[in-house]
């Protein structure tokens, strides 16, 4: 799977070629019936084809054979264009499914009789492994199917699933124990307990998803289908009743001829919402596809759509809002000590400190004060131990220590100087961690360690707020620290000293208030909260329990992606809504083209409605039909890419979309129908 | 348009809103059981009625039970009206000695009055006995109106309740509407009408010696009866079924300019007031006002065009040198089919009011309006009778459009749509679509059958597009439960009495069931709190959207039909 989603062109030649073939295969009425609007067009196409055959054979048909044929062909094109849009959307997923299938090939697995490496073993094909079986996977072997590591640790290449080439560590216990079938062990060995039945593995689900095989209509799609079916019924009635109305008018007026069946079918197809009807499933598939491009695997389209409705995001502080490791940001010296002196001492004491905190002290000392990074001769490093709870260095008679304030207080055997005490409190209040540095019995000062808030996250939250989404930070920190970070990151609310129970309670509390909650999680203890949340994104690195409780899995294990998930959900809805509005607004122009044309013989006065001054009645009807077909093709890129979601309040978004797609849909067809009409007349294609 | 025409419209709007605000508040209190003063006075009667009918007022009905109660009640009502009509010859209070009403007309009338349509395939003063007028027709004027208002209140409860199994008690809503709202209003209004000169008597006629008849000693009989009491509820309950055949054009039904003005106000009074009731009951007063504004945004331009078209006069008379210009001595305009005491402007305002609301009373012949003047009223009916509409049903119809508008808007902003905190999902959309489509289905199919058959097309008086308009209007009126007649078409034959009867019944009760289903579904849902991601439904943007949806649906459905009727007629003259 590729990560360079931006680079992927919309119309790849191979996909287009396959889609063209597919659009003919999809003409099968059993497939078409699923889409009532386009089914209606197909029936109309078939009907006009019969009218054409009848007219050509008898020479006394519904209208001139040439005209019927032209209408009939363009109606078939309308159906094909809609099928093409759907096939294009599916095609992108199918290509991915093919590469996934390669990873799913049958392998021989080493099944053990019991959970011991040296237990009796037998070779079985991976497809025959059952739930609870224990297999041994050694370096170079593929993991036969999904499971949990129960013994051992290994580096695993998961690029087949995630596209990430760097190997990951999988080990028993903890939150890194889940392995996926189709991935490969690179080094060491692991014992895996199988956790998926054959055919129901993660890879199977993923293939099903990208192929759209198990695609169910989402609730909003169903509601929209009802609206579209309603509109189709109305327009069916309008056109069906127009025939007797027209016959009556001809009788009364004694002039002209009743409107032909060909024109009625043309009018019907122009009026029913073919633009949205033709692109509806493409929009849905493309939405799922965008999720997959973002390396998020949703268990259902319903989940993606629900993401668009989410109005509360629970975000883990670590990794999502902050970088997750505390870093030194300031040296706060005691009285009589220069900042450089403190920096030097702190740097010296941290030279051998491999923790991120230690490294950051060295980095800060070097950048701010050019403190030495050379390890002095004869130095003894004192590593951090649970017993002393300090680390430091002994060199040349100097004994430098750093540690938490209470530890150092005890170490120096007395109270901290008042200004150091104040500095310690200030740092703690700001949500940072104070580290006190001492040399011998003298306290040198404080190093401030801060959890750095990610750049740009504040703006991101502001955007979300504008869209009406609340952000809630979840952290294990104490309330004081949590409040400080929350203020810095600009979240709306926070949950400090969070336990799994507290998380669950918070979600329930929001849901009781009518909110829809999204969260991310990876640990087994996150599972209840994930199951409770409306949209739950589990990290792929997480445990099997977490993955099963969530309704999406993020293959990149990037918690920030929750925000993208929400955007894709919204995008799907907006694209549908905008195209529906556009489709219905188009109808006005088509009336102005077809009605005067249909009744020109009976009521010449109605030509006052022919505001486009079209060439002839035949040309008017044909131009409207051609426009109706071409607009589907023109909008395929929009349907596949989705409409850009802007961070703006609902009213503003609506005003914008109404203007663009409502007013645009009302006005746009007039010049284009006229243009087609001029072209048809200019090329002498119509009478 | 003349200055008088504009002044009339302004005065109309001011008086209407000034009366509707307090009435709306009062109705909200009635439905919420907070109208203490009237409960003290009328409460004993209410409780007595419950005991008498063995109604348990505490029972909270699920929507299905609410709906079946309405259907049984309406069916029984229709049978009662039918029975009274057929048997009136042998019943008391029949001073003119009318025969029983013929079966087809009785059938049509029974449905017409129980469906709040009041389409009249008969002439009242020459067909119906006093008893039929009072016990059958006037009673249904109250009850059919009350049914519409009850359904609206049930829908409002759907919006306000959370996780609730029921939507209220139909019998309580019906009783309270009639007893606390319609009866008191009608009594006051009837007394006012008597003061303007409308008869209220059991005499069946006044003998007048006319010049023509004086010679042979035969005085002319002017039909009388309990007119005022019936007119009051006919106007207030958006019924519109006149005591006299020519409805409010008759001097005994609408004698003066003052009675005309007040009756015009009374057509829209309850429908407008219910918007305020709605706002109060859902605890979002702006929401009610916004819906009222949306209605006005459609109503006012159509009224202006209709008034302008009628005041322009008849184009075909210009060549004959007829003076149609308004002056100190005459109102001017197209006076064919209009009463000289009202003139073009007051007739046009009445015409748009009575068709906007599904009232259907007339003070002029719509058939004689100019093509453009007739187009406005006809289209107001075809919009689904949601521009004010019938009492209760107009607003619940508008709320169906609001649901569709909110759904579209929700998609366009990327959220599952919400209206008043309730999520609009597939079930609501299904029901809203059924409710909105039903009248259009009846109009189009009915008209198509009529023009395709001899039975339907042989009774029209005018050939050409005008004849088509007459048929289209008849089916629109019946299917919109309006009841006004374009005229120029004989509708007492079997075809029209039966076809229109079927349309009236289907277009009344199918949308009503759909609305109750929505009410039930909404009541069982939780309420979603608003955020900046929620589309505000109480601002100008929503007005625009709602108006757009109503106009677009109305235009797209009826443009071809209207094109073959009034539009081509207008373009041809």
Task: List the single residue in A with minimal CA-CA distance to B427.
Answer: A223
d(CA B573, CA B569): 6
A 269-308 → B contacts, CB under 8 A: 271, 305, 308
Which single residue is written with the structure tokens 């938490």?
A404
| CB-CB contact of A27 with A79 (8 Å) | yes
Q: B444 vs A309: CB contact, 8 Å cut-off?
A: no
d(CA A324, CA A528): 24
Task: List the single residue in B with minimal CA-CA distance to A589.
Answer: B556
Instruction: Report which DSSP code applies to B249.
Output: G
Long-range contacts of A17-21 (CB under 8 A, 24+ apart): A18/A87, A18/A91, A18/A94, A19/A84, A19/A87, A19/A88, A19/A90, A19/A91, A20/A84, A20/A87
Q: B440 vs A469: CB contact, 8 Å cut-off?
A: no
Q: A223 vs B445: CB contact, 8 Å cut-off?
A: no
Above 50 in pLDDT, residue A137? yes
- Please tell me the predicted confidence (pLDDT) of residue A408: 87
Instruction: State the pLDDT confidence band at B390, using cuts at 50, 70 and 90.
Output: very high
- Please tell me the predicted confidence (pLDDT) of residue A88: 87
Instruction: State the pLDDT confidence band at A215, using cuts at 50, 70 and 90.
Output: low
Q: What pTM did the predictor assign?
A: 0.86
HSE-up (13 A, CA, CB side) for residue A600:
19
What's the pLDDT tens digit per position in A437-486?
998 888 899 998 887 787 788 888 888 888 788 889 888 777 877 888 88
Q: Which of A515, A599, A654 sits opposite B413 (nearest CB)?
A: A654
Q: Which of A62, A316, A477, A526 is catalytic?
A: A316
Above 50 in pLDDT, residue A213? no
Instruction: State the pLDDT confidence band at A184, using cuts at 50, 70 and 90.
Output: confident
Q: For residues A402-439, b (16+ Cβ closer than 10 Å) or e, as one string?
A: bbebebbbebbeeebbebbbebbeebbebbbbbbbbbb
The count of other CB atoms within 10 Å of the CB of residue A2 is: 12
| CB-CB contact of A636 with A84 (8 Å) | yes
Question: Which one is predicted more confidently, B378 or A157?
Answer: B378
Task: List the single residue in B with minimal CA-CA distance to A307.
Answer: B415
- Please tell me the predicted confidence (pLDDT) of residue B87: 96
Instruction: State the pLDDT confidence band at A5, using cuts at 50, 70 and 90.
Output: very low
End-to-end alpha carbon distance in chain A: 54
Cα–Cα distances in Å, from A283 out to A85, A88, A97, A217, A399? Answer: 9, 11, 19, 12, 68
A219–chain B nearest CA distance, Å: 7
Q: Can you say how many angstroms the Cα of residue A535 is from the centroid of all Cα atoms in its chain? A: 12
d(CA B359, CA B377): 12
Which tokens hold the place of A186? 């690179």
Helices of type H across A562-660: 562-599, 617-641, 650-657
Q: What is the dihedral of CA A628, A633, A634, A636, to 10 degrees?
A: 130
Mean pLDDT of chain A: 85
Query: Helices A457-466 and A562-599, interaxial angle, to 10°?
Result: 40
Q: B413 vs A655: CB contact, 8 Å cut-off?
A: no
Angle formed at CA B511 by CA B510 and CA B513, multiple of 5 degrees: 65
Q: For residues B80-105, b (16+ Cβ closer than 10 Å) or e, as one string?
A: bbbebbbebeeeebbebebebbbebb
Q: Which of B30-34, B42-46, B524-528 has the lowest mean pLDDT?
A: B524-528
Q: Which of these, B246, B371, B258, lies nearest to B312 by C-alpha position? A: B371
d(CA B488, CA B499): 18
Q: Which of A240, A649, A654 sits opposite B412 (nearest CB)?
A: A654
| CB-CB contact of A600 with A606 (8 Å) | yes
Which tokens hold the place of B468? 């088509």
d(CA B489, CA B252): 25
What's the pLDDT tens digit per position in A305-358?
788 888 888 888 776 787 767 788 888 898 888 888 888 888 888 887 777 788
3-state secondary structure B103-167: HHHHHHHHHHHHCCCCCCCCCHHHHCCHHHHHHHHHHHHHHHHHHHHHHHHHHHHHHHCCCCCCC
Q: Which of A237, A574, A584 sits opposite B413 (nearest CB)?
A: A574
What's the pLDDT tens digit per position in A282-298?
888 888 778 877 888 77
- Pairing mode of beta strands A535-539, A552-554: parallel
User: What is the rounded average pLDDT of the residues B157-179?
Assistant: 95
Kind plus residue range of the DSSP H or E element containing A402: strand A398-403
d(CA B202, CA B229): 12
Angle formed at CA B327 by CA B326 and CA B333, multiple of 5 degrees: 15
For A548, phi then psi, to 5°, come to: -75, -30
CA-based Rg of chain B, rounded to a whole angstrom? 23
- Please tell me the predicted confidence (pLDDT) of residue A394: 87
Instruction: Report which DSSP code applies to A142.
Output: B
Which tokens hold the place of A248? 């009556």
Q: Which of these, A177, A135, A133, lies nearest to A153 by C-alpha position? A: A177
Cα–Cα distances in Å, from A496 out to A316, A500, A623, B173? Answer: 11, 12, 65, 51
d(CA B75, CA A527): 56
SS3 B200: strand
- Please tell me the predicted confidence (pLDDT) of residue A216: 67
d(CA A297, CA A299): 7
d(CA B166, CA B158): 9
| CB-CB contact of B275 with B296 (8 Å) | no
- Please tell me the predicted confidence (pLDDT) of residue B214: 63
d(CA B444, CA A239): 10
What's the pLDDT tens digit per position in B527-545?
887 777 778 888 899 999 9
Q: Which of these, B420, B415, B34, lies nearest to A577 by C-alpha position? A: B415
A665 has a chain B CB within 8 A of its CB = no
SS3 B257: helix
Above 60 in pLDDT, residue A1? no
Instruction: State the pLDDT confidence band at B65, using cuts at 50, 70 and 90.
Output: very high
Q: B interface mutation test: which of A219, A226, A235, A570 has the most B CBs within 10 A?
A: A226
Q: A230 vs B433: CB contact, 8 Å cut-off?
A: yes
Q: A649 vs B545: CB contact, 8 Å cut-off?
A: no
| CB-CB contact of A535 with A306 (8 Å) | yes
- Please tell me the predicted confidence (pLDDT) of residue A3: 41
Instruction: State the pLDDT confidence band at A48, using cuts at 50, 70 and 90.
Output: very high
A222, burial (CB in 10 Å: exposed 0-12, middle 13-18, buried 19+): middle
B92 has a chain A CB within 8 A of its CB = no
Q: For residues A29-66, b (16+ Cβ closer than 10 Å) or e, as one string?
A: eeebeebbbbbbbbbbbbbbbebbeebeeeeebbbebe
Share of chain A above pLDDT 70, in %: 95
SS3 A243: helix
B544–chain A nearest CA distance, Å: 10
Instruction: State the pLDDT confidence band at B113, using cuts at 50, 70 and 90.
Output: very high
Q: A237 vs B445: CB contact, 8 Å cut-off?
A: yes
Above 90 in pLDDT, residue A387? no
d(CA A112, CA A119): 6
Kind plus residue range of the DSSP H or E element containing B78: helix B63-87
B 218-277 → A contacts, CB under 8 A: none
Cα–Cα distances in Å, from B330 out to A438, B215, B334, B342? Answer: 108, 34, 12, 11
Which tokens hold the place of B378? 């006809």
What's the pLDDT tens digit per position in B454-499?
998 888 888 889 999 999 999 999 999 999 988 788 888 899 999 9
What's the pLDDT tens digit per position in B230-245?
999 999 999 998 899 8
Which tokens hold the place of A422? 């104040």
Annotated active-site residue A289? The verdict is: no
End-to-end alpha carbon distance in chain B: 21
A432 Cβ contact list (under 8 Å, min separation 6): A326, A329, A448, A449, A450, A451, A481, A484
| Number of residues assigned to chain B | 573
Above 70 in pLDDT, residue A397? yes
Q: Which of A222, A470, A650 sits opposite B426 (nearest CB)?
A: A222
Which single residue is written with the structure tokens 């486009």?
A612
Partners of residue A658 in chain B, C-beta under 8 Å: 412, 541, 544-545
What's the pLDDT tens digit per position in B423-461?
898 999 999 999 999 999 999 999 999 999 999 888 888
For A610, phi then psi, to 5°, come to: -80, 70
Percent of chain B as helix, strand, coil, to the nearest 5 = 65, 5, 30
Instruction: State the pLDDT confidence band at A407, using cuts at 50, 70 and 90.
Output: confident
Kind plus residue range of the DSSP H or E element containing A326: strand A322-333
- Please tell me the predicted confidence (pLDDT) of residue A165: 67
What's the pLDDT tens digit per position in B180-205?
999 999 999 999 999 999 999 998 88
Q: A248 vs B468: CB contact, 8 Å cut-off?
A: yes
- Please tell me the predicted confidence (pLDDT) of residue A127: 81
B 396-455 → A contacts, CB under 8 A: 404, 407-416, 421, 424-426, 428-430, 433-434, 436-437, 440-441, 444-445, 447-449, 451-452
Instruction: State the pLDDT confidence band at A7, using cuts at 50, 70 and 90.
Output: very low
Q: Which of A595, A645, A662 sits opposite B563 (nearest CB)?
A: A595
Q: How many CB pairs under 8 A join A and B?
A: 204
Instruction: State the pLDDT confidence band at B77, using cuts at 50, 70 and 90.
Output: very high
- Please tell me the predicted confidence (pLDDT) of residue A2: 37
Mean pLDDT of chain B: 92
Q: Which of these, A80, A45, A40, lies nearest to A262 by C-alpha position? A: A45
Q: Which of B552, B561, B572 sits opposite A584 (nearest CB)?
A: B552
| CB-CB contact of A96 with A8 (8 Å) | no
């Amino acid at each position: 799977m590729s990560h360079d989603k931006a680079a992927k062109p919309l119309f790849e030649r191979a996909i287009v070629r396959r889609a063209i073939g597919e659009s003919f295969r999809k003409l099968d009425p059993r497939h078409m019936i699923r889409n009532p609007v386009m089914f209606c067009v197909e029936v109309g196409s078939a009907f006009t084809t019969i009218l054409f055959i009848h007219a050509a054979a008898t020479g006394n048909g519904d209208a001139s054979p040439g005209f019927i044929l032209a209408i009939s062909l363009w109606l078939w094109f309308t159906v094909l264009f809609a099928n093409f849009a759907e096939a294009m959307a599916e095609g992108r997923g199918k290509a991915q499914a093919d590469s996934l299938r390669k990873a799913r090939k049958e392998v021989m697995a080493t099944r053990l009789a019991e959970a011991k490496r040296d237990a009796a073993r037998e070779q079985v094909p991976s497809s025959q492994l059952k739930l609870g079986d224990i297999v041994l996977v050694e370096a170079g072997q593929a993991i036969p199917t999904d499971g949990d590591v129960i013994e051992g640790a290994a580096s695993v290449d998961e690029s087949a699933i995630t596209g990430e080439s760097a190997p990951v560590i999988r080990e028993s216990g903890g939150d890194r124990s889940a392995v996926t079938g189709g991935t490969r062990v690179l080094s060491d060995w692991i014992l895996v307990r199988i956790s998926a039945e054959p055919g129901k593995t993660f890879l199977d689900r993923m293939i099903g998803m990208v192929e759209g095989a198990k695609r169910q209509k989402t609730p909003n799609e169903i509601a929209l289908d009802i609206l579209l079916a309603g509109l189709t019924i109305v327009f069916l009635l309008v056109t069906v009743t127009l025939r007797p109305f027209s016959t009556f008018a001809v009788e009364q007026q004694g002039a002209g001829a009743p409107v032909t069946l060909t024109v009625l079918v043309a009018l019907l197809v122009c009026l029913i919402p073919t633009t949205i009807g033709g692109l509806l499933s493409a929009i849905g598939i493309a939405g799922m596809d965008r999720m997959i491009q973002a390396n998020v695997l949703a268990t259902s389209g319903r989940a993606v759509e629900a993401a668009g409705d989410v109005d509360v995001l629970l975000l883990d502080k670590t990794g999502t809002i902050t970088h997750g490791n505390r870093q030194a940001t300031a040296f706060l010296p005691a009285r009589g000590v220069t900042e450089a002196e403190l920096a030097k001492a702190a740097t010296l004491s941290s030279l051998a400190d491999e923790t991120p905190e230690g490294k950051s002290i060295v980095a800060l000392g070097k950048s701010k004060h050019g403190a030495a990074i050379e390890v002095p001769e004869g130095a003894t490093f004192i590593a951090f131990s649970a017993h002393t709870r300090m680390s430091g260095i002994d060199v040349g008679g100097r004994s430098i220590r750093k540690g938490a304030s209470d530890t150092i207080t005890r170490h120096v055997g007395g109270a901290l100087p008042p200004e150091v005490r104040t500095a310690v409190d200030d740092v703690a209040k700001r949500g940072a961690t104070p580290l006190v540095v001492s040399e011998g019995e003298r306290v040198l000062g404080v190093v401030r360690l801060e959890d750095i808030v990610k750049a740009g996250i504040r703006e991101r939250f502001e955007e979300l707020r504008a869209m009406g989404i609340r952000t809630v930070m979840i952290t294990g920190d104490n309330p004081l620290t949590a409040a400080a970070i929350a203020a810095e990151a600009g979240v709306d609310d926070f949950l400090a000293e969070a336990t799994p129970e507290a998380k669950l309670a918070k979600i329930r509390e929001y849901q009781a208030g009518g909110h829809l909650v999204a969260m991310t999680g990876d640990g087994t203890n996150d599972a209840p909260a994930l199951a409770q949340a409306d949209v739950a994104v589990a990290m792929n690195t997480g445990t099997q329990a977490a993955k099963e409780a969530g309704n999406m899995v993020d293959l990149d294990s990037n918690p920030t992606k929750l925000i993208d998930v929400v955007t894709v959900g919204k995008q799907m809805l907006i694209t549908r809504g905008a195209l529906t509005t556009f489709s219905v607004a188009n109808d006005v122009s088509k009336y102005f083209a077809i009605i005067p044309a249909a009744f020109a013989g009976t009521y010449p006065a109605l030509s006052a409605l022919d505001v486009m001054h079209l060439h002839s009645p035949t040309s008017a009807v044909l131009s409207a039909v051609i426009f109706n077909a071409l607009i589907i093709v023109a909008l395929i890129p929009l349907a596949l890419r989705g409409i850009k979601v802007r961070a703006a309040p609902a009213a503003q978004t609506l005003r914008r979309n109404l203007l663009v797609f409502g007013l645009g849909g009302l006005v746009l067809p007039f010049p284009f129908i006229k243009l087609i009409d001029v072209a048809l007349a200019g090329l002498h294609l119509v009478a | 348009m003349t200055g008088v025409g504009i002044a009339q419209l302004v005065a109309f709007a001011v008086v209407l809103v000034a009366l509707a605000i307090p009435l709306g508040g009062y109705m909200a209190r009635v439905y919420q059981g907070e109208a203490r003063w009237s409960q003290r006075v009328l409460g004993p009667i209410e409780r007595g009625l419950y005991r008498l009918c063995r109604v348990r007022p505490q029972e909270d009905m699920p929507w299905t039970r609410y709906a079946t109660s309405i259907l049984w009640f309406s069916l029984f009502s229709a049978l009662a009206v039918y029975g009274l009509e057929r048997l009136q010859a042998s019943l008391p209070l029949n001073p003119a000695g009318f025969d029983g009403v013929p079966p087809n007309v009785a059938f049509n009338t029974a449905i017409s009055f129980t469906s709040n349509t009041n389409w009249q395939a008969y002439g009242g003063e020459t067909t119906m006995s006093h008893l039929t007028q009072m016990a059958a027709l006037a009673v249904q004027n109250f009850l059919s109106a009350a049914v519409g208002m009850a359904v609206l209140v049930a829908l409002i409860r759907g919006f306000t309740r959370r996780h609730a199994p029921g939507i209220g008690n139909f019998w309580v809503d019906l009783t309270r509407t009639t007893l606390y709202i319609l009866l008191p209003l009608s009594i006051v209004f009837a007394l006012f009408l008597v003061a303007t000169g409308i008869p209220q008597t059991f005499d069946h006629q006044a003998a007048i010696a006319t010049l023509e008849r004086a010679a042979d000693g035969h005085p002319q009989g002017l039909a009388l009866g309990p007119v005022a009491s019936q007119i009051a509820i006919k106007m207030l309950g958006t019924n519109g079924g006149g005591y006299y055949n020519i409805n409010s054009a008759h001097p005994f039904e609408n004698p003066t300019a003052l009675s005309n003005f007040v009756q015009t106000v009374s057509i829209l009074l309850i429908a407008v007031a219910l918007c305020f009731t709605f706002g109060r009951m859902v605890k979002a007063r702006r929401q009610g006002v916004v819906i009222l504004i949306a209605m006005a945004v459609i109503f006012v331009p159509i009224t202006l065009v209709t008034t302008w078209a009628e005041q322009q006069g008849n184009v075909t008379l210009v060549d004959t040198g007829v003076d149609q210009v308004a002056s100190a001595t005459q109102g001017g305009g197209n006076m064919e089919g209009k009463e000289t005491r009202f003139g073009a402007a007051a007739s046009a305002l009445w015409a748009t009011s009575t068709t906007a609301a599904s009232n259907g009373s007339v003070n002029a012949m719509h058939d004689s309006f100019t093509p453009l003047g007739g187009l406005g009223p006809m289209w107001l009916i075809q919009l689904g009778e949601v521009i004010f509409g019938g009492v209760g049903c107009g607003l619940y119809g508008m709320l169906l459009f609001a649901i569709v508008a909110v759904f579209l808007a929700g998609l366009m902003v990327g959220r599952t749509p919400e209206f008043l905190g309730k999520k609009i999902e597939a079930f609501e959309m299904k029901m809203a679509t059924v409710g909105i489509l039903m009248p259009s289905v009846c109009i189009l199919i009915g008209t198509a059958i009529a023009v395709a058959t001899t039975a339907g097309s042989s009774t029209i008086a005018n050939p050409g597009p005008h004849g088509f308009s007459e048929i289209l209007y008849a089916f629109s009126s019946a299917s919109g439960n309006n009841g006004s007649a374009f005229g120029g078409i004989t509708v007492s034959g079997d075809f029209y009495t039966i076809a229109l009867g079927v349309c009236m019944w289907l277009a009344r009760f199918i949308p009503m069931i759909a609305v109750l289903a929505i009410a039930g579904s909404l009541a069982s849902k939780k309420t979603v709190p608003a955020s900046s991601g929620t589309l505000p439904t109480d601002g100008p943007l929503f007005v625009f959207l709602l108006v757009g949806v109503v106009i677009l649906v109305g235009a797209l459905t009826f443009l071809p039909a209207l094109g073959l009727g009034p539009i081509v007629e207008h373009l041809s003259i």
